[in-house]
Structure 1
Amino acid sequence: MAKDGEQIRVGVDIGGTFTDVAMEVGGALHSVKVLTDYSFPENAIVKAIREVADVAGVNLAAIDTIIHGTTLATNALIERRGAKTAFITTKGFRDVIEMRTESRFEQYDLDIVLPAPLVARNERFVLDERVGADGSVLRALDIAEADALCDSIIADGYESVAIGFIHSYLNGNHEKIVRERLLARKPDISVSISSEVSPQMREFQRFNTVCANAFVKPLMASYLNRLVGRLRQEGTRCPVFMIHSGGGIISIESAIEFPVRLLESGPAGGAIFAAHIASRYGLDKVLSYDMGGTTAKICLIENKTPRTSKTFEVARTYRFKKGSGMPISIPVIEMVEIGAGGGSIATVDSMRQIRVGPHSAGSEPGPACYGRGGASPTVTDADLVLGRLDAGEFAGGTMRLDRSASDRALHNDVADRLGTDVAAAAYGLSEVVDENMSNAARMHAVENGKELSEFTMIAFGGAAPIHAARLCEKLGISQLLIPPGAGVGSAIGFLRAPFGFESVRSAYSRLSRFEAEAINATITDLIAEATSFVRAGVPDADPDLECTAYMRYVGQGWEVPVAISVRDYADADGVLFRKLFDERYESFFGRLIDGLDVEIVGWSLRATSRTVPPQKIGRTEKAADATVRGTRAIFDVQQGSFQTAAIISRHDMKPGDWAAGPAVITERETSTIIAASREVIMQADGCLLVRLKQDA
């Protein structure tokens, strides 16, 4: 029950299998998981909020804030399930989104097939206009031609229109004029322009991003408006905000206008959650590991801050290989995401090897053991057979798992084909998915020049605590933290996120002819744009500002991010920019290149509302044996056999309580498996510290 003056905040995360809700009432946290409703996702949200409000003893009208993250926009792109979309571009550039960058993501595949463009060729249209690389108008827009095209598009019944002209990131007037002509004819048509969605150079990435925004905009607008309406019907009166892919909070109105910003919103919440735990423990090197029902997400967090990027790919079509998906040019928390979740389906290929994912059983029909019609073996089925899950206590006892259904699925699709028993099939399935995740983590670390043995893992999501100890064994990581509420970690992360927005823009200049006036104007424009989004949620906010210049040697194809102070610069500051670039470049590549000029090609500015930093805590060591409720046999990979494991309720553990593996720590949303090589100690804040066994 909330006391007077206490804020009641709710975080909602829609995943491929479960919808997670976390409610914070004062300092107390309550959470629930319900199966995701694919047809009407808002139904699962309303159901979960009702349940968590009952648990907390809260009236829905008393909720102060709801913060929501979702993968619906991502799923719509992957499944090509969006609006009927037209694309308008400059004459001569109609096929840019089909030609891509003309690079081959698989160099030696003679039968390589490039992903189909989001908008088919017969739905792409051109206007004879041209803006130059300096932003000047080389060929003016013909209004009569634009009007005729607008009439044709409306007559053909398009729901949404994407507009992307060459060099419009420098001068977007032509895009704005065409948008005005369309809206004058049909005010309810959805229009996205690249100079607002992604004002950055590189036309393929920019065009693809504005097409993606237009493609999902009507779908997301319909869903978000339905959600707000349903919540109002249930009695809530609070504002609803969205978490975006960069890890900040924006208004519903901003999310509806720029839904492409929501593509990685759920995973971003998880990274924020892990960063919050890292700050509490003073950890500078953290590997965030989030495994849900459909995917696993891995993110590097250094100095309590997740790594970020200004581009990423969705819907990779060729073995998750970089370059085979749709590039999206928006700020995003950088992570690797693979199709490895509790619902990931296992098959046996022609070489008699077990393959797991990327296809998932999701919540409809779900794993075989859910008893909802699923017949394919999944990771959850394997975990049940290996003793890692309790059939009668899954999801706090609200769902009873069917062990016999798991046995049948594993026997029919894996064991029978390999000539082995069900337990061996489950072990093989589990090892394959764990190896897939550890390989992804290794690759992510290598690409960033990091050694994972120096990192602490923070694991959350419904399935991560089950698999985290095994991943630590594979990666050579000695310490693992399982935070309280780990099963709904992303939803809790939403409650820790600041109101924030990152504005990006391409603006070219060379350091040899440093133009302070133009640079100051760019920074001023970025500040105005980013702070306007923040103040839409916090009207009186005085946000913190972080600015990054993207710089490279003249002639290079890509750039490095260089942090700069937010202030007015003078022409003499070109020397300072060169010094900052040299330091950054050398930290990346180990040496500088003599005799080359340096150029700035882009900028980003992040504005975030100020939040209260978490209170730091010290490490708690062993004090007393944890209370054991019983035992059951679980399979331990290092031992190669089933071992008798202690069953311990997380709710019963007090700071300093500890147990040696093998053990299972149970809670409502998940279970934590303590391998035979590890021990677990309850920390003062409720985190479980899982580490290598120590003699002392």
Structure 2
Amino acid sequence: MNSGTADTRLGADIGGTFTDIALELRGTLFSTKVLTNYAAPEQAILDGIAVVTRDAGISPAEIGIIIHGTTLATNALIERRGAKTALVTTEGFRDVIEMRTENRFEQYDLNLQLPTPLIPREHRFTVKGRIGAEGQELQPLDEAALEKIAGRIAASGFGSVAIGFIHAYTNPAHECRAREILSRKLNIPISISAEVSPQMREFERFNTVCANAYVRPQMADYLARFQTRLKEMGAECPVFMIHSGGGLISVETASEFPVRLVESGPAGGAIFAADIARRFGLEKVVSYDMGGTTAKICLIEDFAPRTARTFEVARTYRFCKGSGMPISIPVIEMIEIGAGGGSLAWVDAMGRIQTGPESAGSEPGPACYGRGGKRPAITDADLVLGKLDPDNFAGGAIRLDTAASEQAILRDVGERLSLNAMSTAFGICEVVDENMANAARVHAVENGKNISDNLMIAFGGAAPLHAARLCEKLGIERCIVPK
């Protein structure tokens, strides 16, 4: 039984580098940052809970509610670290997720390469059966073929299955029956598009159910472990997840539909910025959230973030719309790029400084962390430029090594360009700031807005360090950094 109280609330956000914990106890806030544990993400949350409850003088059993945001689902899709997944679809539509739409996101690039589909062709299976656009059955489902497909999937070591049939959003009968037949032989999660994304447009719907199936085993396992470990430490309060649209869903729903957690953490940041805009009467705002791995930019108008029914993960071509993986679920509309404090700096073949998208993360982290990282990251450049206090980073939890940062910056970048440590660090920061400015301009133009008309709200571990220069590049005159 939960013995917690309603005035004791805890928030947890797992990022690519840090896991942030905040405990509100009768109006007083206690917070801490813990390095994200990739092998067991829940451990960082538990370690953080132990710190804030100790500081507040309470036990975990007194927590009344836990609200959790995470980028684990997003990162699994971007890094392609999901389960081996099979797609079962209508005969004739096997290649929909590879053919995509006729849209060319860069019309004049003769060597244009489309993003690789999440599920390779040899893992896609087709079956006869057809539902019409008005929901009528045009051809019965071939159940005998489904029995054979189930046997092939069982023998091939798949970890998850996605089912996507034409026009299933109007009549899910065939998808439901297919799941019933497959589940007789398979003891793995099966996702159907009529439940994950009951919307027209087969490319977006198929891709969304594939993404859901791809991350479902990993996320369900993580959430089950998290709840078990919470109960072991005495916290039996309800746990809710922030979904991509900024609302809350239960852990059980999140386990079944983990694609709704894509952009979960960033959505929480956008809601936070919208609340600040509402409290201060700011009608046009751009939120800028830069953490350890990525930077997120979102337009907020009339005290609410912009929303959409479809968005893209992992755009691959200069932030161009159409170059990413489409996910068809309600979402807070934002643009996200690989530009965080842990993003690595390097020199390309043309002798230009580049940053990201590869990140040092928390293991081993930037060179200044002293945890084995040798390559220079944005945090190393910020430290060399004097933007960070080496003795008070993450509340004093991590002592930064300035000499290690200088050595890494010079070895990997400075010596190749005949620059000293200070000039190299300045160049690294200029490049990452320009990348973020370009992303912000693209996001504003796609929405028919002028980015310079907005006030910026900057938050996240690294955003305040770069906000002033970003505002200068974008022509934004005012910036708020919440305390």
Category of TM-score, reference length = shorter chain: over 0.9
Please report how far the alpha carbon of residue 377 of structure 1 lies from its aligned counterpart in structure 2 after TM superposition. 1.3
- State the distance in 1 between where 2:181 and 2:241 align: 30
Which residue of structure 1 lines up, in the alignment, with residue 31 of structure 2? 31
Name whichever structure is richer in strand by fraction: 1
Q: Is the 8 A contact 1:346 1:429 kept in 2?
A: yes
Counterpart of 2:95, as a letter, is D
Q: What is the aligned partner in structure 2 of residue 78 from structure 1? A: 78
Quote the Cα distance in structure 1 between the aligned partners of 2:27 and 2:446. 39
* In structure 1, distance between residues paired with 2:358 and 2:106: 22
CA contact (8 A) 2:66 2:239 kept: yes
What letter matches 1:67 in structure 2?
A: I
Task: Output one character per residue of 1:290-338: Cα deviation in whole Å (capped at 9) or x when no partner.
Answer: 0000111010100100000111111223344322221111111001111
2:340 equivalent in structure 1: 341
Cα distance in structure 2, aligned partners of 1:415 and 1:147? 61
Aligned equivalent of 1:672: none
- What is the CA-CA distance between 1:5 and the residue it aligns to? 5.8
Cα 1:318–1:478 change in 2 (3 A) is closer
Q: After alignment, is 288-297 or 114-123 more displaced? A: 114-123
The two structures, once aligned, show a CA RMSD in angstroms of 1.4
**Amino acid in the other structure paired with 1:435:** E
Partner of 2:202: 203
Q: Distance in 2 between matches of 1:297 and 1:79?
A: 18
How far apart in 1 are the matches of 2:279 and 2:104?
Answer: 44
Could you tell me which amino acid in structure 2 is paired with residue 78 of structure 1? Answer: I
Residue 458 of structure 1: aligned partner:
457
> Which residue matches 2:358?
359
Residue 156 of structure 1 deviates from its aligned partner by 2.9
* Match runs of 1:562-577 below 5 Å: none
| Residues 5, 62 of structure 2: 8 Å contact kept | no
Show CA shifts across 1:280-299 (max 9, x none).
11111111010000111010
Aligned positions of 1:504-523 closer than 5 A: none
2:110 is aligned to 110
The aligned runs of 1:43-442 (5 Å cut-off) are 43-186=43-186, 188-442=187-441
Between the aligned partners of 1:135 and 1:190, the Cα distance in structure 2 is: 26
Aligned-partner SS, 2:236: coil
Q: Distance in 2 between matches of 1:259 and 1:164?
A: 17
Give the secondary-structure state (helix, strand or coil) at the position aligned to 1:209: helix
Letter in 1 for 2:42: E
Mapped to 2, the partners of 1:62 and 1:343 lie a distance apart of: 35
Match of 1:363, SS state, is coil
Unpaired runs of at least 5, structure 1: 485-696
- Contact 2:88/2:163 (8 A) holds in 1: yes
> Judging changes above 3 Å, is the alpha-carbon distance between structure 1 residues 142 and 348 closer, same or farther for their aligned structure 2 residues?
closer
Preserved CA contact (<8 Å) 1:6 1:26: no
Contact 1:23 1:52 in 2 (8 A): yes
1:627-679 per-residue CA deviation (whole Å, 9 max, x = no partner) reads xxxxxxxxxxxxxxxxxxxxxxxxxxxxxxxxxxxxxxxxxxxxxxxxxxxxx
Q: Is the 8 A contact 1:88 1:164 kept in 2?
A: yes
Q: TM-score, normalised by structure 2?
A: 0.97
Could you tell me how far 1:58 is from its partner in structure 2?
1.6
Change (3 A) 1:206 1:6: closer
Alpha-carbon spacing, 1:111–1:446, altered in 2? closer, same or farther (3 Å): closer
Cα-to-partner distance string for 1:56-99 (whole Å, 9 max, x where unaligned): 11210000111111111111112221112111111111111111
Taking the TM superposition and a 5 Å limit, the aligned residue runs for 1:523-562 are none
Q: CA separation of 1:185/1:380 partners in 2, compared to 1, >3 Å: closer, same or farther?
A: same
The separation in 2 between residues aligned to 1:151 and 1:79, in whole angstroms, is 30
Q: How many residues align?
A: 480
Question: 2 CA distance for matches of 1:70 and 1:130?
Answer: 38
Q: Give the Cα–Cα distance (whole angstroms) in 1 for the partners of residues 460 and 361 of structure 2.
A: 15
Give the letter for the 1:33 counterpart.
K
Superposition deviation, residue 180 in structure 1: 1.2
TM-score, length basis structure 1:
0.67
- The offset of 1:381, in angstroms, is 0.7
Name the residue aligned to 1:480: 479
Matched residue SS, 1:185: coil
Which amino acid is 1:10 matched to? Answer: L
Q: Deviations over 1:147-182 (max 9, x none)?
A: 332233223332211100011111110000011112
- Which residue identity lines up with residue 215 of structure 1 in the other structure? Y
Gaps of 5+ in 2: none
Give 2:123's aligned amino acid: E
Structure with higher Rg: it is 1
Closer/same/farther in 2, CA of residues 452 and 106 from structure 1, 3 Å limit: closer
Tell me the CA shift for residue 105 of structure 1.
2.5
SS in 2 for 1:236: coil
What secondary structure, in the 3-state scheme, does the structure 1 residue paired with 2:163 have? strand
Rate the CA distance shift 1:453–1:122 in 2: closer, same or farther, 3 A. closer
Q: What displacement does 1:6 show?
A: 5.3
SS at match of 2:358: strand
